[in-house]
Every structure is written in C-alpha cells, then in structure tokens.
Copies of this chain bind each other. A is one copy, B any other.
C-alpha cells in the first residue's frame, strides 16, 4: 500500500496538533507540582506523591494520543510505551502497516525532578520506515517536527539543521571538534565487562586528548548527557550535537527522532562497531535494534560529499567505542 502525498500531509498536520496538545498536558502536570500560585491552585502535590503523579500524567497522555489516533485513523496500528510496558508480550511490534509509535513522556527522570529536558514523542511509520516525527519539549518551548519530503523544523518555521547555506561538513579531524552526546542509562551493574564499564571506557576514549588512550583519544569538543534519547536525536538533527551514541533504547524512544534526523539530512546506523570497522558497509539502522549511532546533517567540502564526511565520522567513532550488550526480542 502506498500513501498519497495529501494523505501524508494530513497525517503530519494531525500529528503536530497532537504533539502540541500532549506537550501542554505534560506542562500542566509539571505545574501542578510547582509553587507560586495559591496553595489551593498549584504546588500542592507533595514530593512523595510526585512519582505517582508522573505515572498518572504519562498514562493520561498516552491514552489521549491513542484515543485521538484511533478516532481519526481506526485502521492504523498503535504502539505506545505505556501500553507496551503493561502488556505481556515483548515482541517487536513494528511491521509494514501504517503505525503510530509514541512515547508520551521521554526523559521521565527529568520530568520527576522538573529538569526541562522532557518531551512527548510521536512517530508515524509505514513500511517499517519512520515518515513523520513530532517531538515537543513544552518547558523549553521547542517543537521539532518533520514529514517525509517536507523538511524538518523547529517550532514550524526554523529549518533544521540550524546552520544552512551551506550545511557545514563534519570536521576534518572528527571526532575532534565535535560535540558528543551520550547517556549513562539505567544499567549500572558494577560488572568488570558490563555495559556501564563498556560505556565509560568508550566515553573516555572519545574525550581524552589526541595521542592518549593508546591512540584512541578523540578529544571531542564537549561531552553532553541530557537524560532523553529523544531530545538527543532532536539536537543531532538540529546540528547542535555532532554525534550521539547509545544502547538500550526502545522503538518509541527513537522513532520520531529518527524521522526528524533523516529528513534533516542526518545519518543513523548501528552503535556497535562491526568486526572490520574500516571497510564494513554503513547501513541504515533497523528500528528495534536498540543500538544507535547518529551523525548530524553535513554538507560537502572541497574534498568530500556530506555523506562521505558522515561515514568517516562513523568509522572514527566505531574505532573508539566498545560493543554494548542489549538485545531486542523479535526485532
């Protein structure tokens, strides 16, 4: 089944509207916990109840989005983080059907602590490819959106990446000069060769001076950790982060971000380095792989195409990172 241009545009407009409303629900939920109004109006939710309130908001936002989608597009499939977590199956649920894949609240820890890096994430997928992405971070007043063939946007008017005419290539000595985005994640087991230690070893390789770490030092320009995979991807699409490397994500964490990144001209591939990182083909990542490496949109230089500078950067990252151990049933 092919989707017409008009049909896709209609879905896009609908998804953006959903994202705006869902983001407002998140912000309203956050304001319930803030002081400043009368004690009856705001700030009356005690800290011990904050986690319950967050769970409730999370569920309410997913129910709202699911209800609206099912009403407007009853034939589409719906995969939501909350419904999935409560279900008994851990199977991979994305197939070739028109599918909505949403995370009502990404950056849950941030939301609990009222750190502004939280968002709602809405993706529309067809033939297993994310075609539309909407990411709304309401506390930051940032709405990222994209539709296949229509470009990627910040707040509906600013094209992504932010730097255009031309889009700059990756630095010639990347990862040096790059902002590197990574997350510590939830797997904190102190096992000698566990994911925590593999991640940290990789981070240190990327950060250390050139010549350090037995030649693996990448001397990146900066290391950033925001606590939201979705916003990490949005900032790579923006060009603010050059490289994002992460393991352990689920489809709803990344589907909208991948749509936006790809429409902006970014590259997304596998986080785990192949046996031969120098010559292995650089393939588009399969949604569901749980292991992601994203490179920002890049334009040509006098010696390389943008894609060539992205692929060069991928290989330089692969040379410095360890394989992570995450799997996905059924993907």
A residues bordering B, Cβ < 8 Å?
33-36, 39, 43-44, 46-47, 50, 109-110, 112-116, 140-142, 157-159, 161-165, 168, 179, 184, 188-190, 196, 200, 203-204, 207-209, 211-213, 217, 219, 221-227, 235, 238-242
Contacts and interface: CB of A to CB of B under 8 A. Distances in A.
A114 B34 contact: no
B204 A39 contact: no
Given A140-B141, A184-B223, A188-B207, 10 more contacts: A34-B158, A47-B163, A109-B179, A109-B222, A114-B240, A140-B140, A188-B212, A189-B208, A196-B208, A224-B225
A168 B33 CA distance: 11
B165 A189 contact: no
Given A162-B35, A189-B212, A190-B209, A241 B196 contact: no
Most chain B CB neighbours (cut-off 10 Å) among A112, A140, A164, A241: A164
A168 B286 CA distance: 43
A145 to B, nearest CB: 15
A170 to B, nearest CB: 10
23 contacts: A33-B162, A34-B163, A35-B159, A43-B165, A46-B168, A47-B163, A50-B163, A109-B179, A110-B222, A110-B240, A112-B221, A113-B239, A113-B240, A114-B162, A140-B140, A141-B141, A179-B227, A188-B208, A196-B207, A196-B208, A224-B225, A224-B226, A225-B225
Contact of A163 (B35, B161, B188): B35
A113 B241 contact: yes
Contacts of A226: 224, 226
Given A34-B162, A109-B179, A227 B222 contact: yes
